[in-house]
Structure 1
Amino acid sequence: MSFATTERRGTRRLKALLPPLGVAAAAGLAFAVVGAVDPNEPGHYPTCPFLMITGLYCPGCGTLRTMHALAHLDPVAALGLNPLALAMIPFLLFWWGRWVLRSWQGRPRRTTLAHPAWLWVFIGVVMVYWVVRNLPFGAFLAP
């Protein structure tokens, strides 16, 4: 294999890594902004529209404050604000790492993220979480 072929392969690998690295950079920037600008202080971020209209918590309520707590190395507070968002972080990191690996190896992107059954399970978990966190016995799930 010649140097030119190796160089082209390396260039292709780096170009293939640009999308996942761009997503990581955007996520890192968003995490830094939420870590620096406290969502607990009124006026910094808009109120959740679902909460404002219904008075009920959506599955995402408390996620900004969860990320702020994580940025300040307080996982206990993060767990109390939105445990579902905190539980999703390892899964997101797994899928992102898988994307990086497939891109580096030059393997084609899959057209499906996961088996449809797993997506239905995820939707079911989110729906149950949404309902339970708004019931009296699920108040511990409220932010």
Structure 2
Amino acid sequence: MQSVNAPSPSAPRGRAARLAAPTGVLAAVAAAFAYVGAVDPNEPGHYPVCPLLHLTGLYCPGCGGLRSAHAVVHGDLLAALEANAPAVLGYAGLAVLWTVWVVRATRGRPLRIDPPPVLLWGSGALLLVFTVVRNLPFGGWLHP
């Protein structure tokens, strides 16, 4: 026999329960950015070396991402863009996505991420072009 006070399986969750996941993600991201802000990636020995750069001498699309995050934490947007512009765009995009998630969770709606294929293919193509150009002789201005 089911208790009268027990919530039914289809009962809506409370606001605090709906915001638990976005709050946890925010705490994890804030902790990661705080660590990168405190431990300078520009000084050698604090972080592992990029395996692709170490083995081949080629910059991957993520090379400079930690330097970029460090600059963002310290409010230096120009240095962040110089270190890795796609990473800065990624940080901004994830901040917007997180905000949408919180608004939808507050309203009791699930977050549905369904980007059109053209957006995914276009983003992948831009990252590929960025990676190739930064490794060509004339792409030195894109090095971290």
Q: Same fold (TM over 0.5)?
A: yes
Amino acid aligned to 1:78: A
Query: Partner of 2:14: helix, strand, or coil?
Result: helix
Deviation, 1:70, is: 1.6
**Larger deviation, residues 28-37 vs 116-125:** 116-125
Report the Cα distance in structure 2 between the residues aligned to 1:129 and 1:20, rounded to whole angstroms. 31
1:68 aligns with one of 61, 67, 70: 70
Map 1:58-137 to 2 at 5 A: 58-110=60-112, 112-137=113-138
Shift of 1:88: 2.1
Which blocks of at least 5 consecutive residues in structure 2 are unaligned?
Answer: 1-10
Q: Using the alignment, how far apart are the partners of 2:29 and 2:100 within structure 1?
A: 17
Give the structure-2-normalised TM-score. Answer: 0.86
Q: Distance in 1 between matches of 2:141 and 2:73?
A: 22
SS at structure 2 position matched to 1:82: helix
Aligned to 2:19, the other structure's residue is in SS state: helix
Tell which structure's C-alpha radius of gyration is larger. 2
Q: CA deviation at 1:75?
A: 1.5
Q: Tell me how far apart the structure 1 counterparts of residues 71 and 93 of structure 2 sit (CA, whole Å).
A: 19
In 2: Cα distance, 1:49 partner to 1:113 partner = 32
Taking the aligned partners of 1:56 and 1:68, their CA distance within structure 2 comes to 22
Q: Which residue of the partner structure matches residue 7 of structure 2?
A: none
Higher helix share: 1
Structure 1: gaps (5+ residues): 1-7
Per-residue deviation, 1:116: 2.0
Task: Give 1:128's aligned amino acid.
Answer: V
Counting aligned pairs with the same residue, the percent is 51
Residue correspondences, number? 134
Amino acid at match of 2:76: D
Matched, 1:140 2:141: yes
Q: How far off is 1:32 after superposition?
A: 0.4
